[in-house]
Structure 1
Amino acid sequence: MRRRRRTLSIATALAALAAGVGVAVPAGAAPPSPRYVVMGDSYSAGNGTGTYEERTCWRSPDTYAAKVAAQDGADLTNVACSGGVVADITQPRALGSPFVRTATYEVSGTATVQQRKWLQRAEAEALCGTPAQPDWHYEQTITSSAPAGRQLTATVSCQLTAAAQVDAVTPRTDAVFLTVGGNDIGFSSIVLQCLVLRSATGCKGTIDAANATLPTLKSETVAALTEIRKRSRGNAEVYLLGYPHLINTDSYRIPEAAPTYDAGRALHDLQLLGDDLQREGVAELDAGARGNGGFTFVDVKPAWGGMAHGIDPRTAADNSQAWLVPVLAPGRELPEWVHPTVEGHTATASALTAALR
């Protein structure tokens, strides 16, 4: 219970602090609910669950983080996003392609002042629209304008943008959960070449490139995790979760008709190396945090039964036991392929719960 006790002690300390600055706290009142943040990529956003709040980041109310938060009576903020990379943790991310809007507003001043006031009016009147998520906003850039006295007609480029994910973390945050790194090493390309096209040459090329990227990815991930902890002023416990086995075998040779490359072995080795490097990075952070810890790597593979619930990569295979959405699954969209189903998120939640305790 070391980590859970730490979370509750933070909440209690905050309640005491509130009382110390004159905020009324009823005698015997329970400490505030824990505050959790989930960030990272599609494996945390919710791709694969089948229920979504929107289909840009593919955030779902049925993620592993939502399940753990419900168990703990915690408030959860989900800023994870499909396609997320390590850089998105500390930097804003453009979502989709920009579009244009044109409007005429009455504004005064020099040309520069007019444009600034025009943009303020455009934002106030939601010219680009109202973002569907609280961490999204529109970046507005004037591309052309035509002044006529106090009237300014302008066209603006509207770019939907997600804030840096770490912006959701505050000193009141008790725990942060995330999966990240898969897209940095080319997850989509690996799925396409190894599981959709089943190209020996293409699969080998994408996996070789991924292996070459992993050492740099480790240092980038460590820097991002450090920033998360810093934003919480050392209060939040940070849990980096690994990925489940993508396929249910450690040997799958392609092309199936005349195999020349063991894609299963290469993918298995890549995933284990990725786990090792993430585990090492987290252990280094945990040991170097002035004795306070605060960082945990969560290996979800045992909770998934090892490889038992990965996808069977063979053509026309029976994937009834898979906890990942199979490629070309009926009624499923491409962003859901090879992502955890509700059963998969339940397994991941169990692994995280064990780490929290």
Structure 2
Amino acid sequence: MRSLMKLGMVAAAAATMLLVSVGPASADPGGDAVDYVALGDSYSSGTGTREYFDSGCQRSHHSYPAQLAVQHGYTLTFDACSGARIADVRNEQLGNLSAETDLITVSAGGNDTGWTDVLVSCARPWPWTCWGDIDRAENFIRTTLPGRLDALYTDIAAAAPGATVIVVGYPRLFNGETCNFAARISAGEQERLNAAADLLSDTTEAVAADFGFTYLDARDAFDGHAVCDDVEWLNGLSNPIGESYHPNRLGHDGYTREVTALL
């Protein structure tokens, strides 16, 4: 999602190609490497893993797209970029799609909802509350987001008509506990934020289904691994601040397994 340090800015970067050589067992029956394009925002670029080969877009070798390429021998075009909104994906990331594209993953929509601003508001100390911010985000998800996703998926389907498309969803972030007193998000606020995440997931899944795209629902996989759980797959409030509330390396390992199960 949009970097907490760079609200209002979208990093622009050229596509990064990762060409991976593997043994014959990973090749497809025709002997050609699978042409894989990773699209989307920070949940796909790898923000939260704390190690990046492209600092502008925060692309990481620990991200699930990079792991998929290594594990399966795919030829990866890594276009996902931290901070990207749906319009950014449409305008800046689709140029490498073609009739030759075999596989696409995409995560998009979180930045459009203003999710980072909502989290910042919820983390403010009592007596501040963020109910209104959550209400506005949910209203956006219901009324505006479906049309934006429809436009994005239309563009993807037209640009790569033969590709398998996996739409990667966002997890719930919270388990109802507070373990970092610098970010005092109350149990009630956490419940509302998780409900908003559910709405975002269900809405995205419904639009993806209209296009015959596969939807990866991350909520079950991340259950028991939220912020403040014993084994966190998500960063809580972090230093640097932009790492906050993103999947860590364990989270991207989990995403890698979940995508693999859908292939």
For the Cα contact (< 8 Å) 2:121–2:130, is it kept in 1? yes
Closer/same/farther in 2, CA of residues 81 and 260 from structure 1, 3 Å limit = closer
Q: Which has the higher strand share?
A: 1
Amino acid aligned to 1:299: D
Residues 217-245 of structure 1, C-alpha deviations (whole Å, 9 max, x = no match):
1121121012112111x111111111111
Please state if 1:238 is matched with 2:165: yes
Residue in 2 that maps onto 1:268: 194
State the distance in 2 between where 1:245 and 1:282 align. Answer: 19
Q: How many residues align?
A: 232
Please state if 1:309 is matched with 2:225: yes
Alignment of 1:341-352 (within 5 A): 341-352=248-259
| Identical columns (%) | 31
Closer/same/farther in 2, CA of residues 89 and 260 from structure 1, 3 Å limit = closer
For the Cα contact (< 8 Å) 2:53–2:60, is it kept in 1? yes
State the distance in 2 between where 1:324 and 1:260 align. Answer: 18
Unaligned runs of 5+ in 1: 1-10, 13-29, 92-163, 287-294, 313-318
1:298 paired residue among 205, 216, 219: 216
Residue in 1 that maps onto 2:69: 69
Closer/same/farther in 2, CA of residues 244 and 260 from structure 1, 3 Å limit = closer
Task: State the Cα RMSD in Å.
Answer: 2.4
1:323 paired residue among 233, 236, 242: 233
Alignment of 1:1-357 (within 5 A): 30-91=30-91, 164-194=92-122, 196-198=123-125, 201-215=128-142, 216-232=144-160, 234-249=161-176, 262-286=188-212, 295-304=213-222, 306=223, 308-312=224-228, 321-327=231-237, 329=238, 332-356=239-263
Unaligned runs of 5+ in 2: 1-27
For the Cα contact (< 8 Å) 2:86–2:148, is it kept in 1? yes
- Cα offset, 1:176, TM superposition: 0.8
State the distance in 2 between where 1:54 and 1:260 align. Answer: 35
Amino acid aligned to 1:214: I
| TM-score when normalising by structure 1 | 0.61
- Cα offset, 1:55, TM superposition: 2.0
Structure whose CA Rg is larger: 1
State the distance in 2 between where 1:34 and 1:351 align. Answer: 18
Closer/same/farther in 2, CA of residues 261 and 351 from structure 1, 3 Å limit = closer
Displacement over 3 Å in runs of 4+: 198-202
| TM-score when normalising by structure 2 | 0.81
Closer/same/farther in 2, CA of residues 333 and 222 from structure 1, 3 Å limit = same
Bigger RCO of structures 1 and 2 (CA < 8 A, at least 6 apart) = 2
For the Cα contact (< 8 Å) 1:303–1:350, is it kept in 2? no
For the Cα contact (< 8 Å) 2:172–2:198, is it kept in 1? no
